[in-house]
Amino acid sequence: MAHSKIYVVAHADIPIGQAANCIAHGAMMAHDKWGHKYGEDFGTNYDEWFAHSFRKVTCVASEEKFQELKAAAKEADIDFIIVTESALQDKEIVLVFYPQEEWPDVFNSIRLLGSKAESEDVNHTVVDDAIANLSDAIKQTTLAASIAHNVAGGALADPDQEKVNRLLDKANELSGEVNITIMEAFRAQNAVKEKLKQHKIHGVPSGS
C-alpha cells in the first residue's frame, strides 16, 4: 500500500471556507472510523497507508459528479464517509474515500482543489459572455466612430477647413482601430476555445 492514496472530494458549490472546515471534519471522521493504534490490528489498508504512503488527493466536484463518485465507489466496494452540514439542511459537503492503489476511472476526471479550471467540464459560457460584452463595447465604439465621421462630413461647409480635416482624420483612425480590435477579439475567442477544448483535468496525488 506504499502507493495507495485517499480521495477527499469537496462539493464545488460550497464556499471554500466552509468546505475547508468540512474537509477537516472528514479527515477526523476517517481516522476515527478506519484508524487503529499501532499494535492493534495493524496491517489494515488504512494503517499501511497511514504509515507508508499518506498520499491524499483533495478535489472538488459538481453535484452530478458527487453522485457518480458515490455510485462508482459502491460498485467497486470502496468504503467512504459523507460529511454533511446542518446549516445547509444537511447537504452533503465532503466525501472521503478509503485508501486504494487502483481507482475507478471517474476519479481521474475530477479536478484538484485550487486548480485554475472551475469545473470538470470546461464551461465555454464564461468565455462567450466575455467576448459578447467586448463585442457590445466594440459596436458602441463603431457607432461612435460612424457618428464622428458623419459629423465631420457634415461640417465640410464649415469655413474652418483645418478643423474639418482633423475631425475626418480622427474618425478614420478610430474606425481603423475598431476594425483591428474586432479581428483580435475573434482570434482571442477562437484561441481560448481551442485551448479549453484540448485541456483535460486530472487528479494528481499530493505528496503531503
Q: What is the pLDDT of residues 54-106, one digit of tens each?
A: 899 999 999 999 999 999 999 999 999 999 988 888 899 999 999 999 999 99
Dump pLDDT digits (tens) for 157-205.
Answer: 555 667 667 766 766 666 666 666 666 666 666 666 665 555 544 333 4
For residue 8, the cross-strand partners are 58, 96
pLDDT at 72: 97
- pTM for this predicted structure: 0.55
DSSP code per residue over 3-39: T-EEEEEEETTS-HHHHHHHHHHHHHHHHHHH---TT
The CATH code belonging to domain 5-112 is: 3.40.1490.10
The pair phi, psi for residue 161, each rounded to 5°, is -65, -30
Domains of the chain, by residue range, sit at: 5-112, 124-198
The pair phi, psi for residue 46, each rounded to 5°, is -65, -45
